[in-house]
Amino acid sequence: MATLGDIGVSAAINILSAFIFFVVFAILRLQPFNDRVYFPKWYLKRLRTDPTASGAVSKFVNLDYRSYLRFLNWMPDALRMPEPELIDHAGLDSAVYLRIYLIGVKIFVPIAFLVWAILVPVNFTNSTLELASKIANVTSSDIDKFSISNVPLGSQRFWGHVLVAYAITFWACYVLLKEYEKVAFMRLQFLASEKRLPNQFTVLVRNVPPDPDESVSELVEHFFLVNHPNHYLTHQVVYNANKLAKLVKKKKKMQNWLVYYNNKYSRDPSKRPFMKTGFLGLWGNRVDAIDHHKSEIAKLSKEIAAEGEKVTNDPKSIMPAAFVSFKTRWGAAVCAQTQQSRDPTIWLTDWAPEPRDVYWENLAIPYVSLTVRKLIIGVAFFFLTFFFMIPIAFVQSLASLEGIEKAAPFLKPVVEKKFIKSVIQGFLPGIVLKLFLIFLPTILMIMSKFEGFISLSSLERRSASRYYLFNFVNVFLGSIITGSAFEQLDSFIHQSASEIPKTIGVAIPMKATFFITYIMVDGWAGIAGEILMLKPLIIYHLKNFFLVKTEKDREEAMDPGSLGFNTGEPRIQFYFLLGFVYATVTPAILPFIIIFFGLAYVVFRHQIINVYNQEYESAAAFWPDVHGRILTALVISQVLLLGLLSTKEASHSTPFLIALPVLTIWFHMFCKGRYEPAFVKYPLQEAMMKDTLERAREPSINLKGYLQSSYIHPVFKDCKDDEDEEENGENWENVSVIVPTKRQSRRNTPVPSRVSGASTPSLPDAIQEHPKP
């Protein structure tokens, strides 16, 4: 059990670590040779030039001592850019993501003042824990005197906790309502003002039914010319080009090695570079490295050409899916948001992700297998969550000095020293838990990819939801339950069964000390370490030294990264959960959480402005998930407080808490019905307005030329000709067409004839009725 002294030591270590990170960052970012590492976004936008181009010493090392005295100037600079300019600079996703941190500040700062003014005096002016430690030998620390555990059983003071719980609920719901309304407005405004993009006109069609008479491409064209005759424009079928993509990736890797060996040879022409062809170059035949890579690249080029020919000509490589583009946003909105066939399992349509958001590898997964994949991943995630309890239990044993002494008795003389003891109980548990969670986001992302999501944004959102659930079960519940069992084992053995729930009720708020240490490690030092960007810094200089030959190579060596919604958002949500749960239980935790929200807001605002380059733009489509998880944390806190007070014999006040979860769930349903449609549907009114304005401004735009190559698989784009097909002088936006078909039957409803207005006959009859002049 960490004491106030242990928490003080942990705070000193983490504050010192954060300060060191900031100082090192300030020094590194001021050096011109690191300019591309700490300001890559401005280089990608072509708004910054390389200061090392002149070659002078001052262009490599900053010799201006005055700049080092202002090493924290980046903080006010990060706050200076107004939000509209930030949206224009970084996108709506980034701006709205930052608002999550602001919500934390808006919610918890007033709550902290409230609970410190009301609940801290109510809790502290009791002596329950002192008596319990003498009579029942219950473990506690000084900080627990600020918690609800210090209030005696059956006390009327619990009315204060109930009233504060109502105040927290109403304030949190008010803030969330205003934010949902604001973000929904920002999304619609962003979509209305957004420049023309391919995904505004394009729909992804999946589960195209097989047809013996027509290919997938012909069938898609026929179906949409028949059912969307006035709006269909063009389409692009989906190819299974995964093997081709792997070959291209392998070739690029070989080319990088060839550049490396050429550079190495140019620096020392007297010594030809050699390598071994075995695993990692440790064994195998010793060959000339440059000649070997040239021959391998030549082989891969032939394989790529053969595979490309196979993919484009083999019908088995064409998936039953296609990107279908329309002449107007209105036509795309109607298609994306309606059922296309009487059979709801075929011709499934949804908005296409923007081209850079598409995860092409998963488009090759048959739609019928997605359900099975989801079931497999659901079972795998359950076992991952369950078995991770084992390392969580180990971490919690480290939180107890007695656990370490029991596992390693020979360390007792060392760990009993005051400073070492404070470090072990105040710092070590948090850092060990964080280390255990390092590989979790990668595992969850692999699971999401296997599940079959077809866009990077949906992959990140699914990974984030699983990460949040994992944190709740393992980090939160696992830490409370496991920690309570370790620390209160002696009390459980010597108590009757009816007393055990009371002991658990006392033990739950006692875990606040562990979470305080975790917040300082992860939310203070961890956030400060984020800005240092040590990994991108090292990788950039290694690439710059070994691989860079041209300005394009130097640009590719930059690794700006992105926000990482799948890891960042669950972390934020975990702090919301801790804040809501412990606001009425142990208010002492709130200042630590507020510092996290404030520091993280400044750090990530700086990173978004200067570093991160988002891989996609979803126009804040993730906000309903964010809103729902914050409300979930609020409901969890209400239920836990209800359970905790039930062990405190507060029979008069506890029943009044039952209404809180009901009111919160009703509020969630209201917000879901009122604001969520703006995030999942595109209003036809907005689509028509945007189309009308565009036609007025650009009446002669060649939209087909703009859209027909937007959703070609990236591996084909280098080989594809840029020639656009002409429409033989006809205006494709206004002319109706006769739909040719290879079918011998007339199972589908054809397009009306331009001549008679009747149904168009099958292809042979059409040829007879409309002979060539």
Q: What is the mean pLDDT of residues 272-281?
A: 78
User: Tens digit of pLDDT for each residue in 633-646?
Assistant: 999 999 888 888 88
Whose CA is closest to 240, among 716, 743, 721, 755?
Answer: 716
Distances (CA, A) of 262 to 250, 287, 557, 643: 18, 15, 17, 69
Range from 50-59, 435-444, 456-465 that averages highest in pLDDT: 456-465
| Residue 58 pLDDT level (bands cut at 50, 70, 90) | low
Is the per-residue pLDDT at 545 higher than 90?
A: no
pLDDT in tens, 69-89: 777 888 898 999 999 999 999
* pLDDT, greater one: 731 or 462: 462
Query: DSSP 3-state helix, strand, coil percentages of the chain (rounded to 5)?
Result: 70, 5, 30
Other beta carbons less than 10 A from residue 181's beta carbon: 14
Cα distance between residue 350 and residue 359, in whole Å: 15
Q: What mean pLDDT is predicted for residues 464-471?
A: 93
Residue type for position 366: P
Question: What confidence tier does 624 reach under pLDDT thresholds 50, 70, 90?
Answer: very high
Specify the pLDDT at position 53.
55
Q: How confident is the model at residue 476 (pLDDT cuts 50, 70, 90)?
A: confident
pLDDT at residue 529 in the model: 87
Q: CB under 8 Å to 745, separation ≥6 — which residues?
A: 762
pLDDT band of residue 314 (cuts 50, 70, 90) is: confident
> Under a CB-based contact definition with an 8 Å cutoff, are residues 319 and 239 in contact?
yes
pLDDT at site 760: 36
Find, among 551, 527, 530, 528, the residue nearest to 36 by Cα: 551
The total number of residues shown for the chain amounts to 773
pLDDT tens across 491-541, in order? 555 556 555 444 555 556 777 888 888 898 888 888 988 888 888 888 888
For residue 544 the two structure tokens come to 């710059």
What pLDDT, in 10s, does the model give residues 167-207?
999 999 999 999 999 999 999 999 888 888 899 999 999 99
pLDDT reading at 580 higher than 80 = yes
Average pLDDT of the chain? Answer: 81
Angle subtended at Cα 692 by Cα 689 and Cα 696, rounded to the nearest 5 degrees: 140
pLDDT at 595 over 90: yes
**Banded pLDDT at 551 (limits 50, 70, 90):** low
Residue 677's identity, in one-letter code, is P
pLDDT computed for residue 753 by the predictor: 36
What pLDDT score was predicted for residue 92?
93
Q: Whole-angstrom Cα distance, residue 12 to residue 16?
A: 6
Query: Please, which contacts does 671-677 make with residues 24 or more away whose CB atoms are closer than 8 Å?
Result: 671/176, 671/177, 671/180, 671/627, 672/624, 672/628, 675/180, 675/181, 675/184, 675/624, 676/624
Question: pLDDT tier at 10 (50, 70, 90 boundaries)?
Answer: confident
pLDDT for 139 equals: 57
Residue 486: pLDDT band by 50, 70, 90 thresholds? very low
Q: Between residues 436 and 736, which one has the greater pLDDT?
A: 436
- Please report, rounded to a whole number, the percentage of residues in the chain having pLDDT higher than 70: 80
Q: Letter for the amino acid at 624?
A: P
- pLDDT per position as a tens digit, 372-386: 999 999 999 999 888
Which CA distances in Å does 441 have to 380, 465, 518, 656? 15, 11, 18, 40
